[in-house]
């Protein structure tokens, strides 16, 4: 890494998360190099509140710092489900720490079909349920397109989810007026 190059650490080795971060980093910080570390979020496998999703992102950042303490920036990404009177939805949260500033962002939400939503627990992985309920070629791509990509027939993938969350988080910290 050259001296003028930024070092950004993604606190995951997940393919969809890495692809989303590579897309956004190349757009906003083309001089940056990305390093991925596999850390545990410290929250349930299927977080079911915004707070738990954000906590998972922050936990990931802290654990990444414990492994690689000399980076310019750290990114935590966490997929969650939420419920309201209209159904159960999947979305993604991002927390980015850059130059001692923290930005938070959330993606759009995709409604989960009732036959999947009824079987969700915080102890299991949502992708396991989806793999069992969708016997299609799309399931072979679940590592990149995610549950929302399966549900939307690739219309809104897990990569899209985390790109959106990253855009919101980076947009916030890139506006100096927000950091006063």
φ/ψ of 35, rounded to 5, equals -125, 135
Residue 26 contacts residue 170 (beta carbons within 8 Å): no
CA angle, 86 then 91 then 92, to 5°: 160
Rounded Cα distance, 161 and 168, in Å:
11
Rounded Cα distance, 109 and 126, in Å:
15
Q: Where are the beta strands (DSSP E) in 11-131?
A: 33-36, 73-84, 87-98, 101-106, 110-112
N residues, the chain: 180
φ/ψ of 41, rounded to 5, equals -80, -20
Q: What is the per-residue pLDDT for 94?
A: 98
Q: What is the per-residue pLDDT for 1?
A: 47
| Domain 7-111+159-179, CATH class in plain words | alpha beta
Contacts of 95 (CB under 8 A, 6+ apart): 54, 57, 58, 61, 75, 76, 102, 103, 104, 169
Strand partners, 106: 93
Cα Rg of the chain, angstroms: 16
Q: What is the per-residue pLDDT for 119?
A: 85
Residue 76 contacts residue 94 (beta carbons within 8 Å): yes
Q: What is the per-residue pLDDT for 18?
A: 97
pLDDT in tens, 19-33: 999 999 999 999 999
Task: Write out the chain's pLDDT in tens, 180 residues.
Answer: 455 689 999 999 999 999 999 999 999 999 999 999 999 999 998 899 999 999 999 999 999 999 999 999 999 999 999 999 999 999 999 999 998 899 999 999 999 999 999 888 766 678 888 888 886 777 888 888 999 999 999 999 999 999 999 999 999 999 989 987
pTM over cut 0.95: no
CA angle, 124 then 162 then 22, to 5°: 120
């Amino acid at each position: 890494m050259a001296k003028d190059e930024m070092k950004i650490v993604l606190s995951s080795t997940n393919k969809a998360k890495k692809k989303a971060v590579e897309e956004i980093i190349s757009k906003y910080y083309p001089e940056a190099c990305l390093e991925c570390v596999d850390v545990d979020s410290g929250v349930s496998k299927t977080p079911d509140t915004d707070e738990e999703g954000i906590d998972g992102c922050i936990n990931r950042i802290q654990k990444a710092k414990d492994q690689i303490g000399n980076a310019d920036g750290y990114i935590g990404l966490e997929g969650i489900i939420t419920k309201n009177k209209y159904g159960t939805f999947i979305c993604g949260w991002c927390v980015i720490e850059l130059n001692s500033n923290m930005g938070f962002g959330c993606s759009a939400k995709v409604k989960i079909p009732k036959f999947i939503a009824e079987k969700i627990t915080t102890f299991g992985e949502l992708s396991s349920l989806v793999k069992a309920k969708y016997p299609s070629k799309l399931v072979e791509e679940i590592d990149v397109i995610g549950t929302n990509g399966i549900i939307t027939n690739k219309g809104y993938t897990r990569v899209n989810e985390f790109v959106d969350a990253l855009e919101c988080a980076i947009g916030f910290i890139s506006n100096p007026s927000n950091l006063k």
